[in-house]
Amino acid sequence: MSVAAPAAPAPETRTGTLDQPGGYGWPLIERLTERIDVRSHGGGKTVSAELRPT
């Protein structure tokens, strides 16, 4: 599965706060995938992930 995003910085694990909630998506992707590849390009980045077999 691949997803394109307009922001260039690579995803990172973070903890949500009251001012900026969230931070759960990337750890979830890390747990569910066998391999993750992040490629930056002029239009942002593309994140590709190979799902872990169940």
Domain membership of residue 44 as a residue range: 23-54
Tokens, residue 49? 């992930």
> Is 8 contained in some domain?
no
Per-residue model confidence (pLDDT) at position 8: 82
Strands 44-51 and 2-5: antiparallel
Using the predicted structure, report yes or no on whether residue 27 has a pLDDT greater than 90.
no
Q: Look up the pTM and report it.
A: 0.73
Do 46 and 4 contact (CB within 8 A), yes or no?
A: yes
Q: Determine, yes or no, domain membership for 2.
A: no
Q: Is residue 47 situated within a structural domain? A: yes
Look at residue 38 and tell me whether its pLDDT is greater than 80: yes
Q: Judge whether 38 lies within some domain.
A: yes
At position 18, the amino acid (one-letter code) is L
Give a yes or no: residue 9 inside a domain: no
Q: How many domains does the chain have?
A: 1
* Amino acid 53: pLDDT: 86
39 vs 54: CA distance, rounded Å: 26
> CA torsion sign, 54 to 52 to 50 to 28?
positive
Q: Across the chain, what does the average pLDDT equal?
A: 89
pLDDT at 30 over 80: yes
| 14 is a domain residue | no
Q: Is 11 part of any domain?
A: no
pLDDT for position 20: 83
